[in-house]
Amino acid sequence: MDREVYYESNNVLDLKDYERMMETIKNTPENRLSKISKIRKIYFNDDINYLEDGLDNASSDKDVYSIVMVDYDTEHLMVERKSRRSGMIYKDYAPITSQECRKIFRGDVRWLKESSYPLLKNLYLEITVNLRTIGVVVDYERQRFKVHNSNDYIQFDLSVRSIYGRKGDLLADQMDMKERLDAGHVVMTYKQSIHIPPIFRSVLALVPKAEVS
């Protein structure tokens, strides 16, 4: 199971501020642009903060689960858990197939508890014990820059569109979504990476490995 740990700050910019920032970023040789991507997140929550990628900034202890699809690639799907602890963001990932996704959409989740990935076992408990269900589906049009040859990133969400996703093919390229960003605005997020030595990662684990009988 992969993990990211970082600090995160968010802001909404108008287009003039965005264009000024873009000029500064592009004129700094150490900054590297990754391509603009289409990120779909199928959340197991209804109360999504669209401007902060699913996590309410006011929540000190909250886990948000989602299924992630990048550029409509159904061959490389992931389950993601995004959590905030003491101001830090933790993201854990585990792979999942499109067939397995569709099982979850149909309510067939018993197989999750037999998974070799602890995150999928935890998702099974969240669905069966905490009654999490598929809620909001959000498409982000995202532009990302690596800053100064570091592991820090600046990202811009140029579009944030959503729909309540309990019906239809949630992995389809086209869905009848509503734009959530005000016209002429962009969401900026700065991610400052935190390095945790491997020896301490198990100590800082957010959720114990699930014991499922």
| Mean pLDDT in residue range 150-156 | 88
pLDDT at position 26 is 81
CA-CA distance, 174 to 91, in Å (whole number)?
Answer: 27
Strands 185-193 and 2-14: antiparallel
Q: Is the Cβ–Cβ distance between 122 and 210 less than 8 Å?
A: yes
> What pLDDT was estimated at residue 150?
78
Percent of the chain residues topping a pLDDT of 70:
83
Q: pLDDT class for 209, splitting at 50, 70, 90?
A: very low
Identify the band that residue 82 occupies on the pLDDT scale cut at 50, 70 and 90. very high
The pLDDT, as a whole number, for residue 208 is: 39
User: What is the C-alpha separation between 83 and 65, in angstroms, rounded?
Assistant: 9
CA distance 25 to 39: 22
Greater confidence (213 vs 71) lies with 71
User: Mean pLDDT over residues 100-121, rounded?
Assistant: 96
Q: What is the pLDDT of residue 120?
A: 97
Domains defined along the chain, listed by start: 2-201 (2.40.320.10)
CB 65 within 8 A of CB 207: no
Give the contacts of 161 (CB within 8 A, at least 6 positions apart).
138, 139, 177, 178, 179, 180
pLDDT of residue 207: 42
Which whole number is the average pLDDT over 111-119?
96
Cβ–Cβ contacts within 10 Å for residue 145, how many?
19
pLDDT in tens, 10-37: 899 999 999 998 888 888 877 777 778 9
Which DSSP string corresponds to 55-119? --TT-SSEEEEEEEEETT-TTSEEEEEEEEETTEEEEEEEEE-HHHHHHHHHT--GGGGG-SSHH
- The pLDDT assigned to 84 comes to 87
